[in-house]
Chain A
């Protein structure tokens, strides 16, 4: 990111609680949509969602200090903002934010451009299926907070769809939750009130976690005794056990669309709010087939059919912007599947062909195909395909070979999932070790002195950031409850980590005006943009960590910086 290029547009992404699945989904899709566009830089401004106003609540205290980062970011010059906030008054609190062109995501703000899901499509598809096909009559909803517009809208649609299907609705069937994973109490109440419930609609994927927990305790399995479906189709849904069916965007994602709208707005075009069509993605907790695989289509080896199969199997692929240098998985899928189908049709498959297809399948999985789906969904789709192909029984010889290829696909799918999981655990352990090491290195027996803070900086790379920068205030800024924080106009760039390597910045080059914290040349280049976290402990705000965008970091960035804040606090406090 170079300040010299005036055509580059800096776009801020204002979001709360970026470690949630919904937030990660939005950030990921915005960032992905911007890849390949050299004229856009994305900066995530993360805050914490704070419902409490109790001055003695420790969490509220923490979040208040944390959210002071908005006061700082307010000084950075953004060309446009994408705002995803349940509580839009953060924007109204800051004057600068108000004047910048904005697009709201998943929020209805009168007079503002917004991108929302067309909730109705997916919900109606699901309820129609449950009532008309499955013949269910007892449907309940685990709802959301009263002030959450989305939650209220979904409730309205839920009721409407029931009534359209000739079912009566009473408030007994509804229970509100806080829309987070901590929804057990609400789920318990709902189940207690409705012991004969057949299907439950969770207002978002996260709230289903609590419901799963409660059901497990009662010996109930989602999908067997009670069908469960969520909303947003986050990655988490695919990872739950059993996997959660969820309503999600059919094509473009919220983030992607929001970015497009914002860019159109910046280009001076008039833009209207957009609704993204949704569909139900069926998984373990509610079987549902989005597409039919008919034998006739298969025998035709129709291109459109194979691509539709791909979209079904790797349902995330079409809403991702794929790097132009990467392997074209869609075409690859077409290549090996069409070869299998042609072999089936012609009743011949030579050994060479078999080997070639097997090789293509290997390439498919080695290049991260499973990133674009979840194992359950994929295996199920492949199963259906295999079943349909076997049932057409044209040549036992080819069928057996095709079955071996299908087996290979499933093996590879599971294998690559296992590897991903292992990597994840490894990464988690590594992160833990890093922090531990950092804590040891920044805590000594001797009394803290002037070098202590420098020592913390010298150990900055142990925190586990791949690419990041640490800015500090000359002196810590002291936060006072319910008072606007006055930050100095400059920060000092203390050190930079590039590809895990630490570079300490010499004193005379540290000074950085706040508006330049994302454009210093020393920053590691990040094609995906940056995220900023406040570094603080108690009421002392020490500075800001700017990291190059990484998906995993969204989970733990806040935790890591809190450790850093503590280290500074300990070393600095004694120093005073």
Chain B
């Protein structure tokens, strides 16, 4: 068997693909399956005819749908075509009407008999079945099939219609082949053959609860009474009056068949009336149920386990209920992604045929999968998806909201009849509020406690870097450590009357009610717990849990507050932190400021508003200004000038912005000074610039062709974290070779390694401004000036000393006394965009 799935794009493309597939009915039967969300009946038949003209012997099996499943994804406006060529097996297909000539629904037995004539033999293994909506005998029909076709698995469901079909053509779901289409029909494709094997199963995610109920009266598809009482009223009492306004609640709490436990019977609730989406019979036993994330996960896991082990996995059919996609969108996305690299193909349906332990059952709200093949084949599955099932829990939101509402309302309950609802809510809680293995309240429970029980002081506890643990310790040791960690936290919490939650592996939380304990008391207790946990012992791995107490949080902000706190804890390397949820509102300002700055930078870059300013540097020997330091300024669209202090930090955090600013600045300064002979300029470079080959190459290139290369001095910040001295020394040497000069900026401010400084053969040293500014005020600063000026005499190279922040005559006099070569500061010149400097 061979199967190829592709999207319908155009007839030409379709013809081309079919040609490439080199289909040959001589080698085996061909089935061409079409699920379309973009054609109406006539168009679909037209297309089928076209295909038939290209592959005359193929069987065509077509249905409409609201969305197709192709390559593990759900697409709402596509048509998917799946071509299957059998090896030895046989395919048969037939389209049967669901009404007789008088317009009455056909008897299931008659249908089965018809089907048996055309599409069944002793070797039939799988029956692909689609019917259009409104056939209330669907349940009976599937039930009868078990009798007529023993040992045959069925897969398929009820057709749906896409929005396009519904709106454009006002049409319903339909089935079609090359001869006709029908919105009141049923289409089959059977797979038979000695070697043909298939496996069919389903996922529902439904958890049954409570006692067995018996349907005592039906009228068409309406359930009139259950256990002898009015069904609709009973149902509403069980869920709560809210279902009157919110009908979608019924999707959360479907009935399931008592004998299968997890096959849902989708029901609709309207005005105390219940209708099943198909005709179940009086006497049928049902149970109530609800659908939640972990059951979905577990069901998918067991389904996948079996599919993965099925050897003849040549073709995969998948049909998923459209309600499922609406209520559990994350789950549907997730479960399909397991098969994204396989040749899975299918569509959305309105009711499905599920095969439960060899018995075919008409069901609702399920995801049915069938694998079929003649010879051994391997599909590429994606089991890693199971490790990442977080998104599933978002599907619980509606259920959680419901539970919360019930809990809140229980304060007020007027009469005791609400016990039903409470017990339902309790049943749901026991499943969705506890972790899978340890049965400890989970994150959802925490959110609920925060929201309705006033547990708004929460301490989040996390153990970091547990991955590295794995490389050193055995799994068993880690497990013991984990268990003791959790149990110590939990018993401590219990003892103090707090709540304990497991959020994730190694991440736990302790909640306290603000009406029971003050923040101070809670923090004190958490401190004790942290000490307790850090106590080491021989049989455990030593761990250092980090604690973050969030005060007055709510279920919306706790996550973001915690993340922000974690960031801060990491930066400051602290293990215990108390944060008020309200404080974070203040941070918004700085974030907004930051993004404003990003805008300014982008504007400056794109509008050529990176402006070099120049500050003259006074030559204390020649008593004139012939050297300038270039300083970067930005201008925004309002003409406001920004200083590096306001934008450099932001630019650095977006590395590329910084690089662009630097580059623009350097080119501009070079441009201004390239033809000036008697003036020289300093350009600030950071370690990032020096490591940036683009910038460095540009500088080298410029210097090598410059007329006066020694007019260019590159100022390197000495206090910056210079992590690569070799690169720095290389750069310095290259500049020297090319005739440029080097200056060390802010000398004396950092914790510099003198040896490194000595290795950098600088031509200038600039004394840090804070030293200069204070040299007349305190002796220590003065000593430093003396020391640095003395360096000059010791150095082998000729070094000139520059003092910045020279603000008054007093300082200037002192500097002269120490023979400082250059002075820079407001006393002589203020930064300005022009080079015209006159001495005051």
Q: Does B516 contact A (CB under 8 A)?
A: yes
Instruction: Convert A302-339 into 0s and 1s, putting 1 for each residue whose CB lies closer than 8 angstroms to a CB of B.
Output: 11000000000000000000001111111110110010
| Chain A count of residues within 8 A CB distance of the other chain | 21
CB-CB under 8 A from B514, the residues of chain A are 327-328, 331
Does A324 lie within 8 Å of B552, measured CB to CB?
Answer: yes
CB-CB under 8 A from A162, the residues of chain B are none
Q: Which of B512-526 contact A (CB under 8 A)?
A: 513-520
Does A324 lie within 8 Å of B518, measured CB to CB?
Answer: no
Report how far A363 CA is from B512 CA in the complex, Å.
14
Q: Among B411, B518, B582, which residue has its beta carbon within 8 angstroms of that of A327?
A: B518
CB-CB under 8 A from A328, the residues of chain B are 454, 514-515
B578's closest neighbor in chain A, by CB?
Answer: A325
Does A327 lie within 8 Å of B412, measured CB to CB?
Answer: no
Does A325 lie within 8 Å of B519, measured CB to CB?
Answer: yes
Instruction: Convert A92-117 into 0s and 1s, putting 1 for each residue whose CB lies closer than 8 angstroms to a CB of B.
Output: 00000000000000000000000000
CB-CB under 8 A from A363, the residues of chain B are 515-516
Q: Chain A's interface: helix, strand, loop or mixed, by majority?
A: helix
CB-CB under 8 A from A332, the residues of chain B are 515-516
Q: Does B572 contact A (CB under 8 A)?
A: no
Least distance between A412 CB and chain B CB atoms (Å)? 16
Known: A301-B411, A303-B411. A327 touches B516 (CB 8 A): yes
Q: Does A295 contact B (CB under 8 A)?
A: no
Report how far A342 CA is from B416 CA in the complex, Å.
12
CB-CB under 8 A from A88, the residues of chain B are none
CB-CB under 8 A from A300, the residues of chain B are 412, 414
CB-CB under 8 A from A335, the residues of chain B are 454, 513, 515
Instruction: Convert B398-425 into 0s and 1s, putting 1 for each residue whose CB lies closer than 8 angstroms to a CB of A.
Output: 0000000000000110101000000000
Q: Among A325, A329, A338, which residue has its beta carbon within 8 angstroms of that of B411?
A: A338
Q: Does B551 contact A (CB under 8 A)?
A: yes
Q: Does A294 contact B (CB under 8 A)?
A: no
CB-CB under 8 A from A346, the residues of chain B are 416
Least distance between B128 CB and chain A CB atoms (Å)? 57
Least distance between B559 CB and chain A CB atoms (Å)? 20
Least distance between A5 CB and chain B CB atoms (Å)? 14
Q: Does B584 contact A (CB under 8 A)?
A: no
A331's closest neighbor in chain B, by CB?
Answer: B515
Does B520 lie within 8 Å of A325, measured CB to CB?
Answer: yes
Does A360 lie within 8 Å of B411, measured CB to CB?
Answer: no
Does A302 lie within 8 Å of B518, measured CB to CB?
Answer: no
Q: Which of A352-400 contact B (CB under 8 A)?
A: 360, 363, 367
Q: Among A324, A325, A329, A331, which residue has its beta carbon within 8 angstroms of that of B454?
A: A331
CB-CB under 8 A from A334, the residues of chain B are 515
Q: Among A301, A324, A326, which residue has its beta carbon within 8 angstroms of that of B582?
A: A324
Report how far A324 CA is from B456 CA in the complex, Å.
11
CB-CB under 8 A from B518, the residues of chain A are 325-327, 367
CB-CB under 8 A from B517, the residues of chain A are 327
CB-CB under 8 A from A342, the residues of chain B are 411
Q: Among A301, A324, A329, A338, which residue has its beta carbon within 8 angstroms of that of B519?
A: A324
Does A360 lie within 8 Å of B582, measured CB to CB?
Answer: no
Report how far A306 CA is from B101 CA in the complex, Å.
69
Report how far A213 CA is from B158 CA in the complex, Å.
92
Interface centre among B416, B514, B515, B552 (most CB of A within 10 A): B515
Q: Does B580 contact A (CB under 8 A)?
A: yes
Q: Which of B245-264 contact A (CB under 8 A)?
A: none
Known: A324-B551, A325-B551, A328-B454. A302 touches B516 (CB 8 A): no
Report how far A542 CA is from B102 CA in the complex, Å.
115
Report how far A498 CA is from B414 CA in the complex, Å.
58
CB-CB under 8 A from B580, the residues of chain A are 324
Report how far A303 CA is from B452 CA in the complex, Å.
13
Report how far A331 CA is from B450 CA in the complex, Å.
13
A327's closest neighbor in chain B, by CB?
Answer: B518
Report how far A334 CA is from B515 CA in the complex, Å.
9
CB-CB under 8 A from A326, the residues of chain B are 518-519
Instruction: Convert A245-286 into 0s and 1s, putting 1 for each residue whose CB lies closer than 8 angstroms to a CB of B.
Output: 000000000000000000000000000000000000000000
Report how far A334 CA is from B454 CA in the complex, Å.
11
Least distance between B420 CB and chain A CB atoms (Å)? 16
Interface centre among B414, B513, B520 (most CB of A within 10 A): B513
Report how far A25 CA is from B516 CA in the complex, Å.
28
Does A301 lie within 8 Å of B412, measured CB to CB?
Answer: yes
Report how far A338 CA is from B551 CA in the complex, Å.
25
Report how far A332 CA is from B455 CA in the complex, Å.
12
CB-CB under 8 A from B552, the residues of chain A are 324
Interface centre among A326, A328, A329, A367 (most CB of B within 10 A): A328
Least distance between B512 CB and chain A CB atoms (Å)? 10
CB-CB under 8 A from B414, the residues of chain A are 300
B414's closest neighbor in chain A, by CB?
Answer: A300
Report how far A501 CA is from B518 CA in the complex, Å.
28
CB-CB under 8 A from A367, the residues of chain B are 518
Report how far A540 CA is from B243 CA in the complex, Å.
82
Report how far A328 CA is from B455 CA in the complex, Å.
11
Report how far A302 CA is from B416 CA in the complex, Å.
17
Least distance between A547 CB and chain B CB atoms (Å)? 24
Q: Among B412, B519, B520, which residue has its beta carbon within 8 angstroms of that of A302?
A: B412
Report how far A174 CA is from B302 CA in the complex, Å.
91
B410's closest neighbor in chain A, by CB?
Answer: A342
A360's closest neighbor in chain B, by CB?
Answer: B516
A367's closest neighbor in chain B, by CB?
Answer: B518
Q: Which of B423-460 contact A (CB under 8 A)?
A: 454
A306's closest neighbor in chain B, by CB?
Answer: B411
Interface centre among A325, A329, A346 (most CB of B within 10 A): A325
Report how far A335 CA is from B411 CA in the complex, Å.
11
Q: Which of B484-516 contact A (CB under 8 A)?
A: 513-516
Report how far A455 CA is from B253 CA in the complex, Å.
83
Report how far A559 CA is from B574 CA in the complex, Å.
47
Report how far A386 CA is from B725 CA in the complex, Å.
81
Least distance between A413 CB and chain B CB atoms (Å)? 18
Instruction: Convert B543-563 into 0s and 1s, putting 1 for each residue whose CB lies closer than 8 angstroms to a CB of A.
Output: 000000001100000000000
CB-CB under 8 A from B520, the residues of chain A are 325
CB-CB under 8 A from A330, the residues of chain B are 515
Report how far A459 CA is from B577 CA in the complex, Å.
40
Q: Which of B110-155 contact A (CB under 8 A)?
A: none
Report how far A325 CA is from B583 CA in the complex, Å.
13
Chain A interfacial positions (CB closer than 8 Å to B): 300-303, 324-332, 334-335, 338, 342, 346, 360, 363, 367
Show 17 A/B contacts (Cβ-Cβ < 8 Å), sorted by A. A302-B412, A324-B519, A324-B582, A325-B518, A325-B551, A327-B515, A328-B454, A328-B515, A329-B515, A330-B515, A331-B454, A331-B513, A331-B515, A335-B454, A360-B516, A363-B516, A367-B518
Besides A335-B454, A335-B515, 8 new A-B residue pairs in contact (Cβ under 8 A), listed by A number? A302-B412, A324-B519, A325-B518, A325-B551, A326-B519, A328-B454, A328-B515, A331-B513
